[in-house]
Amino acid sequence: MKVLVTGAAGFVGYHLSKRLAETGRCEVLGLDNLNDYYPVTLKHARLAELAKLEKFRFVQAELADAAAVLGLIDGFRPDYVAHLGAQAGVRYSIEHPAAYVQSNISGFLNVLEACRVRPPKHLVFASSSSVYGLGAKVPFSEDQAADRPVSFYGATKRANELMAHSYAHLHGLNLTGVRFFTVYGPWGRPDMTPVIFAKAICEGTPLQLFNAGKNRRDFTHVDDIVDGLLKLLLHPPSGGLPVPPYRIFNLGHHRPVEMQLFVAMLEAVLGRKAQIELLPPQPGDMVETCADLTRVQAATGYAPRIALEDGLRGFAAWFRSYYGFPR
C-alpha cells in the first residue's frame, strides 16, 4: 500500500507518516517545502526521526508547483493521499494573506488536479475548526453554516472544503475533509500555544493571555488526531454514498478548557509559575472551540483516549528534552 503525505515535515504530518511507516505495511512518500514560517531546524529534526524508518522516503517540493505535484503523484501512484501541507497560523494570515493563497488555495488545487489525473482510492485533507467563525454554536457540528470565518486562514480552509466538494461532484473523487481542533503534543509547532506558553514559563518571561485568559480551546492530543486520520483515510466513501463521495468530519476532544486553567496545568507539569499578562481579545481569535464528535463516532467509532493532564506530561517531557530546559 502506498500513501502520499503532504506536509510530512510538519507537526501532524510527521506523526501520521511515522505511524504509517512503522506498520511495515505502507510505503510512505513524504512531501514538504520546508519553508521558514517557523525554524526549519525543527522540521529537519522530525525528518531525521522519519529517516530511520525503512518504509519512509522524502521529497522536497512546492505544492504551488503544479508540474512537480503532478509528477510526484503520477510517478508514485499512491493508493491514498493525506494532504496536510498548508500555510498554518491564524494571526500570521492577517498580515501575510498572499502566502495562504499560494499554499492553501493554489497548492490544494494542484493536489486536486493531480488526483483527478491519477485518482487515488481516497484523498483526506486537513481543514480546521477556524472555519466555523461567527455565529457558530458550541459544540461545533459539521452541519452548521461555516460562511463567516473570523480569520483569513479560516477562509482559505473553508475554500478548500468547497473546492473539494466540486471535485467530488464533477470527477467522482473520494474526498474527506477533517476539521482539526487545537492539536498539541510532542514535536508541536513553536508558534502554537503549548510551546509558546511553556517557553515563557521556563524562561520567566511574561505569558500573554488574550481576552483575559477566558478563551476556551478544545485541546486534542496528536495521537488522537492520527487515530482519527487513519480510521478515515483507509475507509473512503463506499457504495456510491454519499453523492458526491465527499464528507466533512470534526476531529477534536470535546472537552474545551479555559486558557487560565490550561496555564495552571502547564505550570504543574513544568514545576514553575508563570508571569501572566492579561490582555484584550486578539483580532482573528475565536472565544471558544468545541468539537461535536457525533458524526465521526458514528462513521468510524473514533473516540479520543488521551486526557489533557496525561498529554501535557508527555508534551512537557519532550519540550524539556528538545529545548534543553532542566527539570
Cross-strand bridge partners of residue 179: 127, 250
Position of cell 506536509? 7
Per the rule left: phi > 0, alpha: psi between -120 and 50, beta: everything else, 182 is left
Taking the C-alpha atoms of residue 4 and residue 151, their distance in angstroms, rounded to an integer, is 29
DSSP 46-91: HHHHHTTSTTEEEEE--TT-HHHHHHHHHHH--SEEEE------TT
> Which of 38, 92, 153, 184 is flagged as catalytic?
153
Nearest to 285 by CA among 155, 150, 95: 150
**Across-strand partners of 178?**
126, 249
Q: What letter does residue 191 receive in the DSSP assignment?
A: T
**What are the CA-CA distances from residue 293 to residues 21, 49, 138, 309 (Å)?**
28, 32, 12, 21
Active-site residue flag, 246: no
Catalytic site positions: 153
